[in-house]
Amino acid sequence: MNEESMGLALEMKGVRKSFPGTIAVDDVDFEVRPGEVHALVGENGAGKSTLMKMIAGSFDDYEGQIIVKGREVRLHTPTIAKKFGIGMIYQELSLARPISITENLLAGRLPRKGPFLDKRLAKRQARSLLEGVGLDLDPDLPIEDISQHEAQLVEIAKVLGNDPIILVMDEPTSALSREEVERLFAIIDQLRKRGIAIVYISHHLPEIFKIADRVTVMRDGKKIATKPIGEVTREEIVQMMVGRSVKEFYKRQERTIGEARLRVKGLSRFGFFHDVDFEARRGEILGICGLSGAGRTELARVLVGLDRADAGSIEVDGSPVRGSTMAEHLEQGIAYLTEDRKIEGLALRLAVDDNILSAIIDRLSSASVFSKSKGMQRVRALIGELSIYPPDPSRTVGNLSGGNQQKVLLAKWLASEPKVLILDEPTRGVDIGAKMTIHSSIEKLARQGCTVLLISSDLPELVGLTDRVMIMRKGHFTREMDYGECSEESLLLAANGDVGTGEGRAS
Ligand SMILES: Nc1ncnc2c1ncn2[C@@H]1O[C@H](COP(=O)(O)OP(=O)(O)OP(=O)(O)O)[C@@H](O)[C@H]1O
Ligand SMILES: [Mg+2]
């Protein structure tokens, strides 16, 4: 081994991994230094997660060399990878099991006293791991009771408990609010100071400029370049990612807005939001902006029938929306793209076509015109329109890259041709190109007369896409802004109650 390799935490040389029909990682060289935050970026499906799963021991059939701290290793199982100091925080969190935080944190190494579990010691160890990530939680709580953000930190604490040399984070911030992101960054900073090598995958380029020392860009399974962060611009990174220069925002087109379609009066869910009144019209894209905890997702859940309202009414095209389930609301024309595609959206084990048709399958089979081929036609059109990759309706959704799963979920709701479509963070975790595609689909839908409610923490997205934005603060609609009035700054100020700009992003 030469000196250069000795000084590195991780070196990958000429690594390759293919799946049937896809070369996911193609002859890639990649390295990380101790104490470095190395960002890994690329479009959806570029091979980022696969490259990292390779060092996490997910595959026993990769090709090429992996060198950890100067020593060549074969990382063929997760146990071996862990033993060599690889810690991985996965893109899809997998904590939702009915066990306690302690059991989760110390899985596989719970302390024993004779044949029994040493409960006190276990609790103490769990508490100290939680402290390491700034969490003050009771270790006896069941893991399913904590928030997603806390679950994320518990996962980090768990991985740190194994004393990793290399820590990989695959889109760790996609479910976090601005304040939570800041806290995570402070933790990353401490880890960096302790000499841990960090690989950080994200689609959010501003984050990368804030936290990374170097950045590696991947495209179509290949490495395009590795650069110190100070030597590249955002535009250059995007250009390397997509292989051409792109405009980041969809060009706005004129739309005609029709009569009122969705009427919400005095809607309340006690403890979450109160007396919400608004109207949204045909063809209108109405944004909803607020800080985390403002009540946006709660409002959406009531509108789509996932939760019950305590007071107030919802009307679509003049008829009151009745029923208390999502299916009933869908039948009356209200569809919902959830914030969390794993929980309420996708059947990961089913194929792309089954997922896309799942919301309309009843309607299709009861209609006399139904034929399988008609459904499939629609599926193919949507795969094309959203550039779902690979463009194969029979693929299992769970095997698609994260961003492509998000597109399948959107396709499912587009297929249901709703009167009102509520989108909660529709472009989280998708790359810049896919974001454009999704924006253009949303606009197209609005042009066809659909009313779109857009909940987003992406301020440029709200500003660029909506006709009007309602500001939600502490459970109330406090303000409304037209397209002309909206800017990232004005939204942020309004979401914060017009005081200060430093605290919190609208999320
Ligand atoms: N288990 C699998 N079976 C078949 N194909 C797979 C599997 N996992 C990944 N792929 C394919 O490998 C390619 C790379 O996927 P990968 O998940 O590494 O992308 P990514 O860069 O992480 O994308 P994203 O930003 O969307 O998460 C994609 O074409 C994907 O469809
Ligand atoms: Mg990925």
- For 159-175, what is each residue's pLDDT tens digit? 998 899 999 999 887 66
Q: Is the pLDDT of residue 129 over 70?
A: yes
What band does 71 get if pLDDT is binned at 50, 70 and 90? very high
Q: What is the average pLDDT across 1-12?
A: 75
Nearest CA to ligand 1 atom 1: 399
Q: pTM, whole model, 2 decimals?
A: 0.73
The pLDDT assigned to 30 comes to: 98
Angle 241-244-249 from CA coordinates, rounded to 5°:
85
Query: Residue 48 CA: which ligand 1 atom is closest?
Result: 21
* Ligand 1 near 44 CB (within 6 A): yes
User: Residues 6 or more apart from 377 whose CB is under 8 A from it?
Assistant: none
Nearest listed ligand to the Cα of residue 404: 1
245 pLDDT tier (thresholds 50, 70, 90): low
Question: Nearest residue CA, atom 11 of ligand 1?
Answer: 24
Q: Within a 10 A sphere around the Cβ of 110, how many other Cβ atoms?
A: 16
Lowest mean pLDDT among 310-319, 340-349, 412-421: 340-349
Please indicate whether residue 46, judged by its CB atom, sits closer than 6 Å to ligand 1.
yes
Q: Whose CA is nearest to atom 20 of ligand 1?
A: 45
Mean pLDDT (whole number) for 21-40: 95
pLDDT at 371: 63
SS3 label, residue 484: coil
Question: Which residue's C-alpha comes closest to atom 8 of ligand 1?
Answer: 399
How far does the centroid of ligand 1 lie from the alpha carbon of residue 217, in Å?
15
367 has a pLDDT exceeding 70: no
Token pair listed for 317: 């095209």
The whole-number pLDDT of residue 4 equals: 57
Q: 54 to each of 35, 58, 112, how far by Cα in Å?
A: 21, 6, 33
- Which percentage of the chain shows pLDDT scores above 90? 49
User: Of the ranges 114-118, 299-303, 358-362, 490-494, which one carries the lowest mean pLDDT score?
Assistant: 358-362
Q: How sure is the predictor about 343, in pLDDT bands with cuts at 50, 70 and 90?
A: low
Q: Region 424-446: what's the mean pLDDT?
A: 85
Domain definitions of the chain by residue range:
3-242, 283-495
Strand partners, 166: 86, 197
Q: Which pLDDT value is given to residue 338? A: 76
State whether the Cα torsion 55-57-62-64 is positive or negative.
Answer: positive
CB of 217 within 6 A of ligand 1: the answer is no
Ligand 1 pocket, 398 CB below 6 A?
Answer: no
Instruction: Among 16-20, 27-31, 369-373, name the one with the lowest average pLDDT.
Output: 369-373
CB 304, CB 334: distance < 8 Å: yes
Say yes or no: do domains 3-242 and 283-495 share a fold. Answer: yes
CB 13 within 8 A of CB 210: no
User: Which of 18, 25, 49, when mutated, tests ligand 1's pocket best, judged by the most ligand atoms within 8 Å of its CB?
Assistant: 49
Specify the pairing of strand 311-316 against strand 260-269: antiparallel
pLDDT tens figures, 165-218: 999 999 887 667 777 788 889 999 999 999 999 999 998 888 899 999 999 999
Nearest to 56 by CA among 34, 74, 77: 77
The verdict on the CB of residue 24 being under 6 Å from ligand 1 is yes
pLDDT, tens digit (0-9, with 9 covering 90-100), for 407-430: 898 899 888 889 999 998 888 778
Dist. CA 217–CA 240, nearest whole Å:
7
pLDDT value at residue 109 = 81
Enumerate residues 6+ apart whose C-beta is below 8 A from 46: 218, 219, 220, 221, 241, 401, 431
Q: Are 359 and 415 in contact (CB under 8 A)?
A: yes
Q: For ligand 1, say whether the CB of 400 is within 6 Å of any of its atoms.
A: yes
Which ligand ends up closest to the CA of 59? 1
Which residue would you say has higher pLDDT here, 65 or 109? 65
DSSP letter for 244, please.
S
Architecture of domain 283-495: 3-Layer(aba) Sandwich (3.40)
For the chain, the average pLDDT equals 86
Tell me the one-letter amino acid at 506. Answer: A
Per-residue confidence band for 505, with pLDDT thresholds at 50, 70 and 90:
very low
Q: Ligand 1 within 6 A of 433 CB?
A: no
In short, whether 292's Cβ falls inside 6 Å of ligand 1 is no
pLDDT at residue 497 is higher than 80:
no
Contact (Cβ atoms closer than 8 angstroms) between residue 91 and residue 402? yes
- Whole-number pLDDT of residue 504: 37
How far, in Å, is the centroid of ligand 1 from the Cα of 46? 7
Judge if the beta carbon of residue 391 lies within 6 A of ligand 1. no
- Pairing mode of beta strands 63-68, 311-316: unpaired
Q: How far apart are CA 307 and CA 324, in angstroms?
A: 7
Band of the pLDDT at 501, cuts 50, 70, 90?
Answer: very low
Closest protein CA for atom 29 of ligand 1: 45
pLDDT tops 70 at residue 247? no
Residues 6+ apart with CB under 8 A from 343: none
Q: Is 22 in the pocket of ligand 1 (CB under 6 A)?
A: yes
Q: Are 339 and 297 spatial neighbours (Cβ–Cβ below 8 Å)?
A: yes
CA separation for the pair 81, 57 (Å, rounded)? 5
Is domain 3-242 in CATH 3.40.50.300, yes or no?
A: yes
Type of residue numbered 193 = K
Is the distance from the beta carbon of residue 452 to the nearest atom of ligand 1 less than 6 Å? Answer: no
